[in-house]
Structure 1
């Protein structure tokens, strides 16, 4: 029997990409995989409800930046990133997936995930854990927030013919890590942005599962 692979998913919103991962657990797309934790930086994120309603229910955790800073005078955004890393990596997952997670991590998170620094002082660093992100744009184009709106606007101006989505490894530079899965999505003439967005999201639901499966397969081989 193959060993079970643990996946932690980070979300900020409704969790439709999370749902795609939940549905793919223990199927040929994600064999022997289990989502062991869903973490959100927003308390009202519906993705937390999706996790709680999954069968079996998936444990959840929540920590937002501003309440954390208010409760810990003298702490910084970098301290928050380290605290999130400790929560997310506590169970030694095999993969961390950012699925619509609207917070940009600094080096504090990545140093723990990459096994560069220990989780607690005096501990030895743990094994590196791959971290991947879903981004609704093609590599090197429309990095950062509002990528869908910016691509749609560029199409209206005649600057591009299509956009797309990708799953990439997370590095310090936003949306600049190695692309793992890349899919082009055409923008149709005269279509409203909502229609383009809906088609793009369908692609995202497919590639986030493909990207997770690819990294887990690579880690096993």
Structure 2
């Protein structure tokens, strides 16, 4: 049986498109059965719909309605509720875990392809209990430039002569941001005098390869462990 995949996105969805293209060419060892976006304006939603892939949105801004930024504890709890509901959405097909699943089949694998929100233990622990693996694409090498703006920081370090290589990795998602076990790593030489835009383009090109290869690799590992 093919591995069902849920892809999490927040933006344009170019890495999602790489997965869709691989699937249409018979080069993906699983089926993308749904796409969930943290933004209702993400172009990736259109990419999915154009390929007859069901989509859902799960918007943090809806949870923060009626609060102000200085209401730290209230917003913290609302963020945790967002995570609990996201776990239910993935596992049960609905944020209300009491609702009937209506033939919903949960994924075996979640691929974060430009998902811009941190996933806390509130979502990771239920997914683990449900036997769902979650992986992420990060545009830096293991142990380097965790978190946001990784491409910019890596490029600057290269231009400053601090490092000679950048790259991308596919890794398992754990509580510590971008510190999960690497599944696949691809290195890129940093070129002195190269513009940030040029380096960013090279990163994106290798991302589109890495996300397919990394997804296939983890699916093969999951199949071997059955």
TM-score by length of 2: 0.86
C-alpha distance after superposition, 1:168-187 (max 9, x if no partner): 00000000000000011112
Q: 1:11–1:99: 8 Å Cα contact kept in structure 2?
A: yes
1:15-164 alignment, distance < 5 Å: 15-25=13-23, 27=25, 29-31=27-29, 33-54=30-51, 57-70=52-65, 75-90=77-92, 91-115=105-129, 126=130, 128-164=131-167
Q: Structure 2: where are the runs of 5+ without partners?
A: 68-73, 93-104
Deviation at 1:78, TM superposition (A): 1.1
* Cross-structure match for 1:199: 202
Cα RMSD, aligned residues only: 1.7
Q: 1:5–1:94: 8 Å Cα contact kept in structure 2?
A: yes
Q: Structure 1: where are the runs of 5+ without partners?
A: 116-125
Rounded Cα–Cα distance in structure 1 between residues aligned with 2:15 and 2:83:
22
Q: 1:180–1:211: 8 Å Cα contact kept in structure 2?
A: yes
Rounded Cα–Cα distance in structure 2 between residues aligned with 1:79 and 1:11:
19
TM-score by length of 1: 0.88
Rounded Cα–Cα distance in structure 1 between residues aligned with 2:150 and 2:163:
13
* Cross-structure match for 1:122: none
SS at match of 1:195: helix
Rounded Cα–Cα distance in structure 1 between residues aligned with 2:50 and 2:66:
30
Rate the CA distance shift 1:61–1:71 in 2: closer, same or farther, 3 A: farther
Deviation at 1:70, TM superposition (A): 2.2
